[in-house]
Amino acid sequence: LKVIIINGPNLNLLGRRQPEIYGEDTFEDFMLHLKGKFVDSDVELSYFQSNHEGELLDKLHEIGWSYDGIVLNAGAYTHTSVALADAVAAIETPVIEVHISNVHKREAFRHHSYLSPHCEGVIVGFGLRGYELAVQYFV
Ligand code: DQA
């Protein structure tokens, strides 16, 4: 089983960026924890992060027919990018949308997602645990 976690813009700053909202763990540390959690299942976990919309599109195209699941936190592009929504709709691999914070408790512009209509499911507000829940779903 091949599952990839894809993080969009500013998520490389996790641990340093607004820790009161996004927590104090870096994603690299969290990935180690996550791989440990799934060590006994046959899931092969990989990770990709980019701050560039086009790179996220290229990555979705590249893996879109060859993985079993994609866990996608597109950051702010969630609320702006028709192109990313089209890519999620185009590919065959199912996508779960994850947000660390509860976007519905925050500014109104974070309440709408272009991606959600094309995703298998959406997990918001559970911190980094949301990624774990999404991987668990695919497993
Ligand atoms: C986020 C929520 C987005 O609104 C924000 O732009 C992010 C992170 C989250 O994980 O809570 O960059 O996707």
Which tokens hold the place of 81?
């990018």
CATH number at residue 120: 3.40.50.9100
In this prediction the ipTM stands at 0.99
Give the residue, by CA position, lying nearest to ligand 1 atom 9: 99
pLDDT in tens, 3-27: 999 999 999 999 998 999 888 899 9
pLDDT in tens, 63-72: 999 999 999 9
The amino acid present at 76, given as its one-letter code, is: A
Which tokens hold the place of 61?
């195209």
Q: How many domains does the chain have?
A: 1
pLDDT in tens, 95-117: 999 999 999 999 999 999 999 99
Domain that holds residue 47: 2-138
Which of 11, 99, 115 most suits a substitution to test ligand 1, by most atoms within 8 Å of the C-beta?
A: 99
Q: How far apart are CA 76 and CA 110, in angstroms?
A: 8
Q: What are phi and psi of 129, to 5 degrees?
A: -55, -25
Ligand 1 centre to CA of 77 (Å) is: 9
Confirm or deny that 113 is annotated as ligand binding. Answer: no
In 3D, which of 123, 127, 59, 124 has the Cα closest to residue 93? 59
